[in-house]
Amino acid sequence: MPAAFSRSFPVSSPSKNSTPEDWIAALGMAALCVITMLNVVVRYLSDESIAWTEEFSVFLLVLTTMAGTAAAALRDNHIRIEFFLERGSAARRRRLALFGAAITALFFLALALLTGRMAWDDYRYAEISSGLGVPRWWYTAWVPVFSLVIAYRVFQTIKRKEK
């Protein structure tokens, strides 16, 4: 089997040690199913739509995405072109792998700062969500937190690669 040219589809291997992100992502997914299904059932039984759940579902979608991104980062499952990563001398391959991981960790640190500033602005200016009318930072504050978790998970893969 030749080296894969690119990893475009995470063939995620079942893991024995599930991280908290795994649980958050899996439970977020399950909650999204239950909420959406309830929406359908309630609409048919009572002719009323519980549209306010939309905003909460979007929040769960963002949460699941960030948690799942951390889970995929730890398993090194993100979409990338592996052509050069898997060719050349062992030293070059190792350098490239470390470079990619370092850039990714730095990027998510920067994203944590920028999204943190976004959430801080939501808090400072008391932004209100359009659907439920709750403080918007309740939703946005999780994005920098998970960006930090992602950066940390990438950092863990760097330590693993160095060994």
Partner 1 sequence: MIGISLFLIFFVLMLAGVPIGVSLGIGGMVAIALANSDTQLFGLFAAPQNFYATIAKYPLLALPMFVLVGSIFDRSGVAQRMVTFAIAAVGRGPGMLPMVAILVAMVLGGISGSGPANAAAVGGVMIAAMARAGYPASFSASIVGAAAATDILIPPSIAFVVYSVMVPGASVPAMFAAGMFPGILAGLALIIPAVWLSRRHGFGKGETDQPRPPFWASLREASWGLAAPVLILGGMRAGWFTPTEAAVVAVFYGLFVGMAVHRTIAWKDLFEIFREAAEISAVIMIVLGLAGIFAYSVNTLGIADPIAHAVAESGLGSTGALLLLFTILIVVGMFLDGVSIFLIFVPLLMPVVQLFNWDVVWFGVILTMAVAIGQFTPPMAVNLMVSCRMAKVSMEQTIPWVLWLVASFVVAALLVVLVPELALWLPRSLGY
The per-residue b/e assignment along 97-130, b for 16 or more CB within 10 angstroms, e otherwise, is: beebbeebbeebbebbeebbebbeebeeeebebe
Distance, CA of 19 to CA of 24 (rounded, Å): 9
Per-residue x/- track, 96-125, partner 1 (CB under 8 A) = xx-xx--xx--x--xx--xx-xx-------
Q: Counting contacts by CB under 8 A, is residue 134 touching partner 1?
A: no
CB neighbour list of residue 42: distance below 8 Å, 6 or more residues apart: 48, 49, 50
- Among 137, 140, 149, 153, indicate the residue that binds partner 1 (CB under 8 A): 140
In the complex, least distance from residue 91 CB atom to partner 1, rounded to whole angstroms: 15
Q: Which of residues 142-161 bind partner 1 (CB under 8 A)?
A: 143
Single-letter residue type at 90: A
Task: Give all strands (DSSP E) within 30-141, no chain letters.
Answer: 80-81
Distance, CA of 62 to CA of 67 (rounded, Å): 9
Q: Counting contacts by CB under 8 A, is residue 42 touching partner 1?
A: no
Closer Cβ to partner 1, 31 or 163, answer by number: 31
Closer Cβ to partner 1, 72 or 148, answer by number: 72
Judged by DSSP in three states, 155 sits in helix
Residue numbers at the binding site for partner 1 (CB under 8 A): 1-2, 4-6, 8-12, 14, 18, 22, 25-30, 32-33, 36-37, 39-40, 54, 57-59, 61-62, 64-69, 71-72, 75, 77-85, 96-97, 99-100, 103-104, 107, 110-111, 114-115, 117-118, 139-140, 143
